[in-house]
Amino acid sequence: MTKREIMVKAHEYAKEIKGNYAVAMSYGLKKAWSESKLPILVGSEKQISWATDIRNSNIKAIERELADFERRYSYGDSPTFITIIEKLRIALDDIKGVKSPTAAKFWIEHKNVAGAYIQKIKR
Domain boundaries, the chain: 1-37, 39-122
Q: Would you call 57 helix, strand, or coil by DSSP?
A: helix
* pTM for this prediction: 0.70
* Mean pLDDT across the chain: 86
Burial 15-39 (b: 16+ CB within 10 A, else e): eeeeeeeeebbeebbebbeebeebe
% of residues, the chain, pLDDT over 70: 98
Q: Confidence band (pLDDT; 50, 70, 90) for 77?
A: low
In the predicted model, what is the mean pLDDT of residues 11-24? 85
Q: Confidence band (pLDDT; 50, 70, 90) for 1?
A: low
Q: Output the pLDDT for position 99.
A: 74
